[in-house]
Amino acid sequence: MRSNFVIPGEVVGTAEEFLPGEGTYVRGEHLRASTTGVIEVDAKNRSAKVLPRINAPVTLRNGDVVVGQITDLKESLAILRLAFKRGCEERPIHNSEALIHISRVKNSYVKDIRSVLGLRDIIKAKIIDDTPTIGLSIVDGDLGVVKAYCGRCATPLRIEGDRLVCPDCGQVESRKLSTDFGTGVIR
């Protein structure tokens, strides 16, 4: 299942490229999403819109793959707000808070979860605990960070060789990356 998903505030394209369609707004040079959904580009009219999700809530179970954004980080714990479940991109998640414990990040020892995850990062993860709180794992190779934001200036980071570099301020950071990182799609 592929999708070009965005969450509110994310860049859909440049205002030069696209006219703002439904579910988007223009701020500065960029067209941004006003809703969580999937980008649809109308090449003929050079416009882009974000199709919001329909209302029937999705249920979450062990083994499901989900995508969410990190809203808080402590030494041994990351807190996420879930955006959608893979295969159900257009449907909302009701109880959307989830946790990643430091022991569920890599096969090898991690001293501080903040060395492999960053605030605002978008994460693809597998549910390993569905009650009472949703617990996630990102140990597998296809799981982990799919979009990363600079810890200093919040600009999206880019891969240069095997490093993650901020194109704006030059900061170098490290993450536990998903193989989907930088592709804009969730496989």
Compute the distance between CA of residue 64 and CA of residue 115 in angstroms, rounded to an integer. Answer: 26
* The dihedral sign for the CA sequence 6, 82, 187, 136: positive
In 3D space, the residue among 164, 175, 169 whose CA is nearest the CA of residue 70 turns out to be 175
- Residue 60 token pair: 């979450």
153 is an annotated ligand-binding site residue = yes
166 is an annotated ligand-binding site residue = yes
In 3D space, the residue among 59, 164, 145, 69 whose CA is nearest the CA of residue 105 turns out to be 145
Instruction: Out of 1, 11, 54, 169, name the contact with Zn ion by CB under 5 A.
Output: 169
When the beta carbons of 50 and 150 are compared against Zn ion, the nearer one is 150
Using rule CB under 5 A, residue 160 touches Zn ion: no
When the beta carbons of 34 and 171 are compared against Zn ion, the nearer one is 171
Using rule CB under 5 A, residue 172 touches Zn ion: no
Instruction: Out of 150, 164, 177, 186, name the contact with Zn ion by CB under 5 A.
Output: 150
When the beta carbons of 77 and 169 are compared against Zn ion, the nearer one is 169
Interface mask toward Zn ion for 110-149; x: CB under 5 A: ----------------------------------------
Using rule CB under 5 A, residue 163 touches Zn ion: no
Q: Which residues neighbour 69 within 8 Å (Cβ) at sequence distance 6 or greater?
A: 7, 80, 81, 83, 120, 121, 122, 123
88 is an annotated ligand-binding site residue = no
When the beta carbons of 91 and 120 are compared against Zn ion, the nearer one is 120
Instruction: Out of 34, 35, 171, 174, name the contact with Zn ion by CB under 5 A.
Output: 171
Q: How far is the CB of 159 from Zn ion (least distance, A)?
A: 15
150 is an annotated ligand-binding site residue = yes
Burial class (CB in 10 A: 0-12, 13-18, 19+), 52: middle
In 3D space, the residue among 105, 140, 124 whose CA is nearest the CA of residue 181 turns out to be 124
In 3D space, the residue among 57, 83, 86 whose CA is nearest the CA of residue 70 turns out to be 83
Using CB under 5 A, list all residues that contact Zn ion: 150, 152-153, 155, 166, 168-169, 171
Residues of each annotated binding site for Zn(2+): 150, 153, 166, 169
